[in-house]
């Protein structure tokens, strides 16, 4: 039976029941729960320091009115990082390789930023569709271009996250398959291929964290334009 490289991106099921809900809910179970002790352990201290630095870097350029989004952005980034990193483990499923899931995150949050801008400052929000100093003959064309670029933002968010994770997983599987096939034919080449696979795995860990941060960072930039 031939197995396609893309079979790893199929949603797993048990007795006909999709397990994607379990894969989405699992990251929340591994986070340490806060305690009422005066002194926390090293894990809680590291988690608090990381969250504080992330909120500071993310919300520093945003106006005071957008700081209420800090909790939502922090929870979203921790969720995406956890799912991406857990998906690098063997025999696991990465829900963020599904475009439908990423669009379910990107579309509502982007739409909320646009609605906030239209309700709070409609003139400035609509002014983004026409740059200042535009020649009169180019006004209709630029309005169409800016409108298309505005509506393509959520699609770009979802596709960027999906494409980066999918490409990384496919490349890791291709190199792992090559190493497995070459181990009996050319052991030296197989060892070199395994070394490349190890380095690629380290790179994919960095990509998994960076893509989650970029996803939330772009949402904060969209929020900054409309607050």
Say what percent of the chain tops pLDDT 90. 26
The confidence band for 110, taking pLDDT boundaries of 50, 70 and 90, is: very high
Residue 2 lies in a domain: no
Question: What are the backbone dihedrals phi and psi of residue 17, each rounded to the nearest 5 degrees, phi first?
Answer: -100, 120
* Residue whose C-alpha is closest to residue 76's, from 93, 101, 99, 43: 101
Question: What are the backbone dihedrals phi and psi of residue 121, each rounded to the nearest 5 degrees, phi first?
Answer: -140, 75
Residue 54 lies in a domain: yes
Q: Which pLDDT tens digit goes with each residue over 156-171?
A: 999 999 999 998 888 9
Residue 116 lies in a domain: yes
Structural domain range at position 215: 7-226
- The end-to-end CA distance of the chain, in Å, is 55
State how many domains the chain has: 1
* CA 195 distance to own-chain centroid: 27
Q: Which of 114-118, 128-132, 157-161 has the lowest mean pLDDT?
A: 128-132
Q: Which of 34-38, 87-91, 121-125 has the lowest mean pLDDT?
A: 34-38
The residue ranking higher by pLDDT, 155 or 185, is 155
**pTM for the whole structure:** 0.83
Distances in whole angstroms, Cα of residue 209 to Cα of each of 56, 81, 123, 187, 216: 18, 5, 37, 33, 11
Residue 113 lies in a domain: yes
Residue 104 lies in a domain: yes
């Amino acid at each position: 039976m031939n197995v396609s490289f893309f079979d790893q991106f199929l949603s797993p099921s048990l007795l006909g029941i999709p397990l994607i809900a379990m894969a989405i809910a699992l990251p929340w179970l591994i986070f340490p729960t806060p305690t009422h002790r005066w002194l926390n352990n090293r894990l809680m201290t590291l988690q608090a320091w990381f969250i504080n630095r992330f909120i500071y870097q993310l919300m520093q350029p945003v106006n005071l009115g957008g700081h209420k989004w800090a909790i939502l952005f922090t929870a979203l980034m921790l969720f995406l990082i956890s799912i991406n990193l857990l998906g690098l483990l063997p025999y696991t499923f990465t829900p963020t390789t599904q475009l439908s899931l990423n669009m379910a995150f990107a579309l509502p949050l982007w739409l909320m930023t646009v609605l906030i801008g239209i309700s709070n400052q409609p003139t400035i929000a609509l002014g983004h569709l026409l740059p200042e100093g535009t020649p009169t003959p180019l006004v209709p064309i630029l309005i169409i271009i800016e409108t298309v670029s505005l509506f393509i933002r959520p699609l770009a968010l979802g596709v960027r996250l999906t494409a980066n994770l999918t490409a990384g997983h496919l490349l890791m599987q291709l190199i792992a398959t090559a190493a497995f096939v070459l181990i009996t034919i050319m052991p030296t080449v197989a060892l070199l291929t395994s070394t490349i696979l190890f380095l690629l795995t380290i790179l994919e860990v960095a990509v998994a964290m960076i893509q989650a941060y970029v996803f939330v960072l772009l949402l904060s930039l969209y929020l900054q334009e409309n607050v």
